[in-house]
Structure 1
Amino acid sequence: MLALDDLDSFYGRSQILHGVGLHVAQGQLHAIVGRNGAGKSTLLRSIMKLTDRVTGGQLLEGRSLGADSYLRARAGLGYVPQGRQIFPDFTIRENILVGGFAARSGKRRIPDIVAELFPYLIQNLDRLGGVLSGGQQQQLAIARALAMEPDVLLLDEPTEGIQPNIVEQIEGAITRLNRELGLTVVLVEQNIRFVRAAADHFTMLENGRSVASGPIGGLTDDLITKHMTV
């Protein structure tokens, strides 16, 4: 579904990623793990062409990805960035419909699944995004990405800094999107408990390089201690 080979990525003259490879099969939930500053968020930003320069092979369903982030969204990549980046002065409805601009069907609509995953959003469509809690804004960011009609959903730290009760809802939503609906997911996440419960495969980054990857059973305590313990 998504194949990256020998990926280098730069901010200005600073090289952040060095020869990273990532192969994600259709329907897989692939977790990206590592210490803070390892390059995890940069990897997702590179997939969306949001860094200054990216080199290396990048294929989605065997086709080269587009030259800019809008074309990549239209190709089937949905992206939920770290920090959510919802529009605070837009209503919940307006925030979700923004995602529809990248939908390949050309339809700007609220996906039916949003009502099942995040009923609060549907019950409060006219509330401004800026008055929502952090967890509700994260739900909104995921709903906006789903309105893009993605084949692959890229999630950057979706449970970071969120109240525990909503963390459970978001984890459940991600698991359901993957396991019940078959959506391919690339997940950057520090919560190893959730990663082990939800992911099929993992890639571990350190200093912008892939240092381990494989089925989730290979994400051992020894590996975590070596590459993630501060």
Structure 2
Amino acid sequence: MLSLSNVDSFYGRSQALHDMTVAAPEGAILGILGRNGVGKTTLLRTILGLTDRSEGQITLGDKPIARLATHERARAGIAYVPQGRMIIPDFSIRENILMGGFAAGGTRRIPDIVPELFPYLIENLDRPGGVLSGGQQQQLAIARALACKPRVLLMDEPTEGIQPNIVAQIEDIIIRLNSEFGLTILLVEQNVHFVRRAAKAFAMIEHGTAVESGAIETLTDEMVNKHMAI
């Protein structure tokens, strides 16, 4: 579904990804693992064309997208739930969700899936996004991404900074988006237990490249200790 082959990515003159080669199976979750600062977020930003420059091949389905502008990649079916959520605090819940529809083009509307997944948001559409809890803001960020009508969802640390009683709900929603609604998901996540439960495949990132990858059953404790232990 989504693959990168020999991709280098840059912020100014600084190279952040080196010969990155990863592939997300269609209709599956690919877990992206690694220590902080090794290039996981840059990988997602490169897929969307949000770094200063990149080289190499990025393919969505059978379509090369590496030369497309960010909005063209979004309209091709890629949506992003960024680290820190980045909702607009003065916008209402409704406005934040509908903003995601700009990326898809056409009529902007709240996706039919949102009331089922996030009933609180639908019951409070006129509340400002800035008054929501961290977990509710994460729900809003996911709903905003769904308004893009994506085929592929990029999720960067979706359980980070969320109250523990909400984390399990967010995890279950991510699994449902994949298993029930068929979204291909690239999931950057530090929680190895959750990645093992949710993902079909993994890629371990270090120094801006994939040093280990494969079926999730091949992710060993030795790999985790070697590449994620502090």
Equivalent-residue separation in structure 1 for 2:73 and 2:166 (angstroms): 30
Equivalent-residue separation in structure 1 for 2:168 and 2:136 (angstroms): 12
Q: Which residue number corresponds to residue 148 of structure 1? A: 148
- Report the alpha carbon displacement of residue 175 of structure 1 after superposing the two structures with TM: 0.2
User: Residue by residue, what CA displacement relative to the aligned partner does 1:145-196 show, whole Å, maximum 9, x if unpaired?
Assistant: 0000000000000000100121111111100010111111010000111100
Equivalent-residue separation in structure 2 for 1:5 and 1:109 (angstroms): 35
Q: Which residue number corresponds to residue 97 of structure 2? A: 96
- Report the alpha carbon displacement of residue 67 of structure 1 after superposing the two structures with TM: 2.3
Name stretches of at least 5 consecutive residues in structure 1 with no aligned partner: none
User: Residue by residue, what CA displacement relative to the aligned partner does 1:116-169 show, whole Å, maximum 9, x if unpaired?
Assistant: 111111110000001111111111000000000000000000000100121111
Q: What amino acid sits opposite 1:198 in the alignment?
A: A
Q: Which residue number corresponds to residue 30 of structure 2? A: 30
SS, match of residue 196 in structure 1: helix
- Report the alpha carbon displacement of residue 107 of structure 1 after superposing the two structures with TM: 2.1
Q: Which residue number corresponds to residue 204 of structure 2? A: 204
SS, match of residue 73 in structure 2: helix
1:1-230 matched pairs, under 5 angstroms: 1-65=1-65, 67-103=68-104, 106-230=106-230
Equivalent-residue separation in structure 1 for 2:146 and 2:94 (angstroms): 13
Equivalent-residue separation in structure 2 for 1:123 and 1:157 (angstroms): 26
SS, match of residue 100 in structure 1: helix
Q: What amino acid sits opposite 2:198 in the alignment?
A: A
- Report the alpha carbon displacement of residue 21 of structure 1 after superposing the two structures with TM: 0.6
Equivalent-residue separation in structure 2 for 1:123 and 1:137 (angstroms): 14
SS, match of residue 90 in structure 1: coil
Aligned-CA RMSD value: 0.9
- Report the alpha carbon displacement of residue 2 of structure 1 after superposing the two structures with TM: 0.6
TM-score for both structures, normalised by structure 2? 0.98
User: Residue by residue, what CA displacement relative to the aligned partner does 1:84-129 show, whole Å, maximum 9, x if unpaired?
Assistant: 111111000000001111225x121111111111111111000000
Q: What amino acid sits opposite 1:99 in the alignment?
A: G
Q: What amino acid sits opposite 2:172 in the alignment?
A: G
What percent of counterpart residues are identical?
64
Name stretches of at least 5 consecutive residues in structure 2 with no aligned partner: none
- Report the alpha carbon displacement of residue 69 of structure 1 after superposing the two structures with TM: 1.2
SS, match of residue 18 in structure 2: strand
User: Residue by residue, what CA displacement relative to the aligned partner does 1:45-96 show, whole Å, maximum 9, x if unpaired?
Assistant: 0001111111100111111215221111111001011111111110000000
Equivalent-residue separation in structure 2 for 1:54 and 1:221 (angstroms): 33
Equivalent-residue separation in structure 2 for 1:206 and 1:185 (angstroms): 20
Q: What amino acid sits opposite 2:160 in the alignment?
A: E
Runs of 4+ in 1 over 3 A off after TM superposition: none
Q: What amino acid sits opposite 1:216 in the alignment?
A: I
Equivalent-residue separation in structure 1 for 2:69 and 2:136 (angstroms): 29
